[in-house]
């Protein structure tokens, strides 16, 4: 199942990337979407960085049958591998989100690009549940969780930029 979302920030790409590459922002983002159990790590690398966020999420909004199968919480591990900016100031990250103990994950890209005096962040991914016969139903049940997490990241970014 394809998941796509774009949003803008009223800040230059350098400032937005600086935010993405800080432990403080990643912890804020993880806190906004977790049960309070999270860890965030940022490792600088070749004019880019690798972001690793691990968080425990409630399954309260999952259908009963799915919640019974996975439990009251899920541990989600998100990795973003950001490369250097190109000549136009665009940065791209490989995105990998996996659910521990479940054959469900999202692979895709995140793109940070200049947009007038601000920036646009575009996330595109493919959500897959590798379970014969039930994969599509699980993808449909999990998609709102992934979309909510993306919306929470957008809000956390706006708040972080406004306060820093």
Domains (range + CATH), the chain: 2-163 (3.30.530.20)
| pLDDT over 70 at 46, yes or no | yes
Give the per-residue pLDDT at 69: 67
Question: Facing residues of 23 across strands?
Answer: none
Predicted pLDDT of residue 133: 67
- Residue 26: pLDDT band by 50, 70, 90 thresholds? very high
Question: Lowest mean pLDDT: which of 29-43, 46-60, 101-115, 133-147?
Answer: 133-147
Residue 40: the pLDDT is: 94
Confidence of residue 71 (pLDDT cuts 50, 70, 90): confident
Write down the pTM of the prediction.
0.89
Quick one: three-class SS letters along 1-35?
Answer: CEEEEEEEECCCHHHHHHHHCCHHHHHHHHHHCCC
Sequence-distant (6+) residues with CB within 8 A of 5 are 122, 123, 147, 150, 151, 154
**145 vs 40, more confident:** 40
**Mean of pLDDT over the chain:** 89
**57-71, 80-94, 97-111: which has the highest mean pLDDT?**
80-94
Burial string for 13-51 (b: 16+ CB within 10 Å, else e) reads: beebbebbbbeebbbbbbbbbbeeebebebeeeeebbbb
Given a cut of 90, whether residue 83 has pLDDT beyond it is yes
Residue 50 pLDDT level (bands cut at 50, 70, 90)? very high
């Amino acid at each position: 199942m394809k998941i796509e979302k774009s949003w803008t920030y009223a800040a230059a790409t350098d400032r937005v990337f600086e935010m993405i590459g800080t432990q403080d922002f990643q912890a804020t983002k993880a806190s906004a979407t977790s049960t309070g159990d999270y860890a965030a790590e940022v490792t600088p690398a070749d004019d880019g960085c690798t972001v690793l966020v691990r968080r425990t999420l409630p399954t309260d909004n999952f259908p009963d049958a799915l919640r019974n199968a996975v439990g009251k919480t899920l541990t989600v591990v998100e990795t973003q591998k950001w490369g250097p900016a190109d000549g136009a100031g665009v940065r791209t990250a490989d995105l990998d989100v996996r659910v521990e103990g479940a054959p469900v994950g999202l692979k895709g890209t995140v793109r940070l690009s200049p947009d007038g005096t601000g920036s646009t962040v575009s996330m595109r991914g493919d959500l897959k549940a590798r379970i014969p016969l039930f994969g599509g139903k699980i993808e449909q049940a999990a998609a709102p969780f992934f979309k909510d997490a993306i919306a929470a990241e957008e809000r956390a970014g706006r708040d972080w930029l406004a306060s820093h």
